Amino acid sequence: MSTVTWITARGLFGRRRFLLLLPLPLVLLGLAVLCRSLGVDPRNWGPPVLVGLGLAVVLPVVALIIGTGVLGAEIDDGTVVHILTKPLPRWQIVLPKLAVATGVTAVTAAVPLYVAGVLADSVRLGLALAAAAALGALAYSAFFLALSLVTRRPVLLGLVYVLIWEGLLGNFVSGTKVLSIQQYVIALADRIAPTGLLETSVSVPVASVMTALVSVGFTVLAIDRLRSFSVAGETS
């Protein structure tokens, strides 16, 4: 598993798509610092920056770029053959890749969210956002990793989920929030550090259970899907 982890991390940081991760977190940090330095009331800039940008854009988009890339890119360019020919159980391939995707996503999103949370309210809010973002990173990564194994257009479908399901429908159709990872993250963060800056109709028990179900369920799906791949990298 350590070999797969190393190969995945090296491949991820060696691809140009990794450079796509940098602008969004920097924009989040820049806006938080700017608003704080100008003395803008956190109640005015907190929700749009922390939730509207941080949890609704930075976290899921970073997870989408990384989650679909740790295995999907290898399938596209054919290098997955080298892994599939190894006498390894498929879970020993999926879990290290999921760990790398989750770790990189968590760090990339949690650090700017922590700083923005501290600037907006307190260290407690910053830690709450970072912790909830880490859990969200796991759920998003499992979902997007599985998506890269069940479709040839994982990025497109991932964007549909993030922008339309969570972004558009989530704001107008309350029932869709129960199936929104973004809402789970908001609920968990608000439970750790209650504040008027974070609001959601999803309860903490529902958020906790659904986060676990999404993480485990899509990981199992990814493992099962990878078992159906032939040496040529195509589904059998």
How far is the C-alpha of 152 from the C-alpha of 77, rounded, in Å?
12
65: nearest Cα among 27, 19, 26: 19
Asked whether residue 233 carries a pLDDT value surpassing 50, the answer given is: no
Here the tokens at position 125 are: 């809010």
Neighbours of 77 (CB within 10 A): 11
Instruction: Kindly indicate the confidence band of residue 140, based on its pLDDT and cuts at 50, 70 and 90.
Output: very high
Sign of the Cα pseudo-torsion (139, 145, 151, 155, in order): positive
What mean pLDDT is reported for the chain? 87
Residue 40 CA to chain centroid, in angstroms?
29
Predicted confidence (pLDDT) per residue in 63-83, tens digit? 999 998 888 666 665 556 666
The mean pLDDT value for 26-54 works out to 95
Q: What global pTM score does this model have?
A: 0.90
Domain locations in the chain as residue ranges: 3-227
